[in-house]
Structure 1
Amino acid sequence: MSDRGNMADARPDEELIDATANDQAESRHDEDDRLRPEYVTAVLDAVEDGDAERARDLVSPLHPADIADLLELSPADRRGAVAAALGDLVGAEVLSELNDYVRDDLIGDLAPEQVAGFAAELDTDDAVAMIEDMDDADQQAVLDALDPEDRAAIESALSYPEESAGRLMQRDLVAVPEHMTVGQVIDYLRDHGDLTADFWEIYVVDAMHRPVGYCQLSWILTCPRSVAMADLMKREQTLIPVDMDQEEVALRFQKYALISAAVVDASGRLVGMVTVDDVVHIIAEEAGEDILRLSGAGEGDINEPILMTVRARLIWLVVNLGTAMLAASVVGLFEGTIERFAMLAALMGIVSGMGGNAGTQTLAVVVRALATNQLTSSNTVRMIGREFRIAATNGATLGTLTAVGSYMLYGRLDLSLVFGAALLINNMVAGLAGVLVPITLERNNIDPAVSSSVFVTTMTDTMGFFAFLGLATLFLR
């Protein structure tokens, strides 16, 4: 009885503790699961006051990804102090979650032995991501500090091209021969404690270590022990060549709804696997890169050094300046017409601007279709026809609206017809340019996300001015 009474008395206290913990957890994050500014400030203040114990108490409940967010949200000149105060809370998992630039800053202050210790705790792909951008001397020092087995795995991964499956894959996997039974595989998994901790599929290989099939863990757990792996496994599988670009790897995962996939070398031997958690990062990364390249904004990383950002943006701004001067030279050919009809100066910007907007819309659709393999040589002609019809329809609609508007404003039918016709022509040019330019660049192995916008903008500006002022010269009296 007394024990039950004590237990009953303890429950309210436990509930109070749980409620307090929940309140604290809620106070750390907002409704979008982002760290609250007040919480970040509290951690920074504790570090500034030299109260490392309080800083650690505040941060210790966080997930490694949230600790990485905390470091990224900290001012650049205070990140080192925050990391030092948190000590072993900033471990290998946190470093693997950090933004590349922030991680490079932090590990730049660490001894090679410390970096090697972190790398040894990570999967091969995460370890490679940590050290691949280091200076050659620092990178070699870290490799020398690693165990021979880890060093060999990382050096092998670094030998593959950047952004390839070889850099993305992890070497820790489970592979068994096809002559095993389900029971033998289960016993093997239980008896070998040094296997990788996270896996969802088991690869079945032949005597040459070439993958011949795979089994999901659920199949193995629900089958009798006597069933042979050769009878259980699925032979049709998606194999990833070790030199395949990571964007293509992501597309295969998306297309075939993969959880993991075997990576093979040129001889077809199993050398690693790619898992869906890595692919999710790649999909987000590649999508963001394409959007930023279309605008000429470089990587667009807010943690990128200012000089690198200035250089990346300035290059494309200078190129755009050149194309703007080309468009201005077209205007110069019609100075006499503009002097006679001053209203043209007010309207010609509308023609070029609307064409630029229409071209950007088409360009965004086409670049995405190319990136996701929706647009191939099989449907290119159909895509061109589709976008041209859309451009012509939109151009006719906009041309009619602007013609009516200009007539109401200036009362001149000839000007209104010229204005509407120029908008129609420039919209059709924009539609064709928006689809033809990226396709042409892609066919010539040039990234359409990088260069397309410059060419499309040049064509719409130039053609917009030429069509409007040329028609005005011919028909306005």
Structure 2
Amino acid sequence: MSETDLPEPEIDTTQLDADDRLKPEFVRAVLDAVDTGDAEAARALVEPLHPADIADLFELTPRDSRAALATAITDLLDGDVFAEMNDYVREDLIDALSATQVADIASELDTDDAVAIIEDMEPADQREVLRALDPDDRAAIEEALSYPEESAGRLMQRELIAVPEHWSVGDVLDYLRGHDELTTDFWEIFVVDPAHKPVGTVALSWVLRTPRSIAIADVMKREQTLIPVDMDQEEVALRFQKYALISAAVVDPGGRLVGMITVDDVVHIISEEAGEDILRLSGAGDGDINEPIALTVRTRVLWLVINLGTAMLAAAVVGLFETEIAKFALLAALMGIVSGMGGNAGTQTLAVVVRAIATNQLTSSNTVWMIVREFRIALANGMVLGVLIGLGTILFYHNVPLGIVFGLAILINNLVAGLSGVLIPVTLDRLDVDPAVSSAVFVTMMTDCLGFFTFLGLAALAGLGS
């Protein structure tokens, strides 16, 4: 039996619970060993862990204890661990390392992972790390850093297999076996023309199952999805999702092959973008529990101040009807229900529309249809709620005019909520403003102000305050 045929060593999973999360008692045992200065014991506990689990261990460790943990298990902190680590936790550890140490870690990684480590460093530290890298690695990372943030150029790997279209399958196999410096992790081989433009792809399994004499051009798949180097990473993820891609070629403006993106990178992006949109709707920033408190406060308080402004505007609308409210105090008790129901309806519509925009389900070709659809839904919901609330008010307060006004206000504000929930994010998207960031504030303002104005205005017209 050859060395490569030996079975993989079994990994001790007693550190993990049923959900593959590190057990609290295991984390405490590691930190206790670190606190007592027993680095050997800490290392023995951590060594069997997968790199992703070691990264989780650092995220579960209090911030002021991470440096000591890193010192205790320095030889286990390889590039794979840093690649799996939370951005904020990684930044803390990177700050504590020398430029040479960071360069050593970056040199172990694929280009995309190395860029993720270096891109957020201070410019001076970044230059120092780049100087410590090998020339080839430095050139690849500097090229990646020249592309916009969150673009395919930042996301792609330079390590790929590309062969000319005039080769045979045998030529490809000899090339793969005769060059030790080639990447070992790939699923597809890219076929390029003399100008290094991709003309097709060949699955690795096809190469292994095809006779050596067959031309690679005869077994390659010419249909392929090419990713422009400046494409936003969210658009990249949508293409992978739509066409069920495993990997895809990245091309420069001239159509030349410059890298590839693999599905493991895209899975991370899909998760990141989905969570980002939800958090932006609430104004909660990144929502990362490892984010510095000062940064979290700064992000959240900005949107709370903006919401305060919209609340003051709604209060000004209420102030227009202070006479009616003073004469009929029940209006003050009920008007919050109108705005609250409208806000809930607007949030429902907004969540659907923002998701549709993010996944390219909502485009200019079906915007009118979407507006009509949401109007019909809002009308149906408003009628059901209006009738229920109107009848309930009549039965409970024995006041028919109040019940009619209350029901009509609910109906009208549901229509406002439905229309604003679709029109506001669509308009912001057309203006190249992220609808996930700003829409919620405007929708809330519309449902509050128009909800109060409609209810109190109808009450004034019906003479409820007289």
Q: TM-score, normalised by structure 2?
A: 0.97
Residue 73 of structure 1 corresponds to which residue in structure 2?
A: 60
1:200-239 alignment runs, 5 A limit? 200-239=187-226
Q: How does 1:28-427 map to 2 (within 5 A)?
A: 28-427=15-414
Cα distance in 1, alignment partners of residues 125 and 157 from structure 2: 23
| 1:137 alignment partner, SS class | helix
Give how far 1:90 is off.
1.3
Q: Distance in 2 between matches of 1:111 and 1:435?
A: 51
Extract structure 1 runs of 4+ deviating beyond 4 A: none
Q: Is the 8 Å Cα contact of residues 388 and 432 (structure 1) preserved in structure 2?
A: yes
Letter of the 1:381 counterpart? V
RMSD of aligned alpha carbons: 1.0
Note if 1:474 corresponds to 2:457. Answer: no
Measured in 1, the distance between the counterparts of 2:428 and 2:95 equals 39
Partner of 1:203: helix, strand, or coil? strand
State the one-letter code of the partner of 2:282: S
**What secondary structure sits across from 1:300 in the alignment?**
coil
Q: Deviations over 1:247-305 (max 9, x none)?
A: 00000000000000000001111000001110011001111110000000111111111
Aligned to 2:438: 451
Cα distance in 2 for residues equivalent to 1:55 and 1:167: 36
Percent of aligned positions that are identical: 71
Q: Which amino acid aligns with 1:459?
A: M
> Is the contact made by 1:209 and 1:270 (CA closer than 8 Å) also made in structure 2?
yes
SS at match of 1:162: coil
**In 1: Cα distance, 2:45 partner to 2:81 partner:** 16
Counterpart CA distance in 1 for 2:463 and 2:280 is 42
CA shift, 1:161, in A, is 0.5
CA distance in 1, matches of 2:184, 2:218: 26
Distance 2:321 2:140 in 1: 66
Secondary structure at the residue paired with 1:95? Answer: helix
- CA shift for structure 1 position 191: 1.1
SS in 2 for 1:467: helix
Query: Deviation digits for residues 124-170 of structure 1, max 9, x if unmatched?
Result: 00000001010111000000000111100000000000000000001
Residue in 2 aligned with 1:8? Answer: none
Residue 25 of structure 1 aligns with an amino acid whose one-letter code is: T
Letter in 1 for 2:423: L
TM-score with structure 1 length normalisation? 0.94
Task: List per-residue Cα deviations over 1:373-424 (Å, max 9, x = no partner).
Answer: 0001111111111111111111111111111221122110110010000000
Q: Which of residues 9, 13, 38 in structure 2 aligns to 1:25?
A: 13
The one-letter code of the counterpart of 1:452 is S
What's the secondary structure of 1:25's corresponding residue?
A: coil
Secondary structure at the aligned position of 2:189 is classed as strand
- Structure 1 contact 415–476 (Cα < 8 Å) conserved: no
Look up the SS of the partner of 2:202 in the other structure: strand
**How far apart are 1:242 and its partner, in Å?**
0.5
Paired with 1:324 and 1:187, the residues of 2 have a C-alpha distance of: 71
Q: Secondary structure at the match of 2:73?
A: helix
Measured against aligned partners, the alpha-carbon deviations of 1:329-385 in whole angstroms (never above 9, x if no partner) come to: 000000111111111111000000000000000000000000000001111111111
Q: Deviations over 1:188-217 (max 9, x none)?
A: 111111111200000000001000111111
Q: How far did 1:223 drift?
A: 1.5
